[in-house]
Amino acid sequence: MKNKFLPFSALLFAIIFFSCKKHNDAPKPPLPGINYSYPNGTTGFHSATVPFGDTIQSFSTTWIVPLTPFCDSTLFWWDGMDGGSLQPVLQWENGGWTIANWYFTDDYHHGEVVPVSAGDTLIGVIQYLSHTKDSFYYKESFIGHPEADVTFARTYLATEVDECIEAYTNTYLAFAPDTLTKMTGINCITTLGTHPPNLKWTNNPPDLKTPAGYFPFVVVSSSSSNGEVDFYLK
């Protein structure tokens, strides 16, 4: 009689192959009232509002492209403003890492998609350029990748800054194998050339834990000149 149980290696391959699920969603902020949970459609989202009257001149964050995930899915890491309506985005999809600068006006748009590699250092920057009577002009960029730059106009100033990870997958096996991703060097500068007080980050959702028992979203430093927000993946 044949053994009705698959060898462990074959079983593991089957789990990885059949549990990876790809989506083509554009990166977006989490919806209010939705209870995102690991591992189905995980979204880790931090937001902070600058003091009333301060205009943000620039906002930037540094992070490292994670290791290659074990299987395909759709993963996003980004720093942004106003709930993700401005966002330099790192994306894993179709077996590769890419960056693109996304923004929302009438819909989501993005600039050129540029391949990057695991271990690359990324610095995503959003800059306020100028305004007219009815329009405010912004530029998004990744330092060292000018081909990805975008400049666009919107009808109101951005007053909120964000750090986010989005994972459109139904299994931890599709996550990058790193323990965590560090969003570091968080730097917010006003049009006066000053830094606002420490950023008071709000976590969404606030009460999840990873299988290893970590809180998924940890504010290491709330500094507005050299802050850090970590996203745990295991």
* CATH class label, 43-232: mainly beta
Cα separation, 5 vs 169, whole angstroms: 27
Phi, psi of 8 (to 5 degrees): -60, -45
Instruction: Please tell me the predicted confidence (pLDDT) of residue 52.
Output: 67
Instruction: Please tell me the predicted confidence (pLDDT) of residue 60.
Output: 98
Among 12-26, 75-89, 157-171, 199-213, name the one with the lowest average pLDDT: 12-26
Q: Can you say whether residue 95 is alpha, beta or left, with left for phi > 0 and alpha for psi between -120 and 50 degrees?
A: left
User: Where is mean pLDDT largest: 38-42, 208-212, 218-222?
Assistant: 218-222
Among 14-28, 71-85, 149-163, 185-199, name the one with the lowest average pLDDT: 14-28
Q: Is 174 helix (H, G, I), strand (E, B) or coil?
A: helix
pLDDT at 22 over 80: no
Structure tokens at 150: 């975008």
Q: Is 91 helix (H, G, I), strand (E, B) or coil?
A: strand
More confident residue, 51 or 119: 119
- Using alpha carbons, select from 69, 86, 85, 66 the residue that is nearest to residue 77: 66
Query: For residue 125, what are the contacts with CB-CB under 8 A and spacing of at least 6?
Result: 58, 59, 60, 88, 139, 140, 141, 142, 143
* Average pLDDT value over all residues in the chain: 79
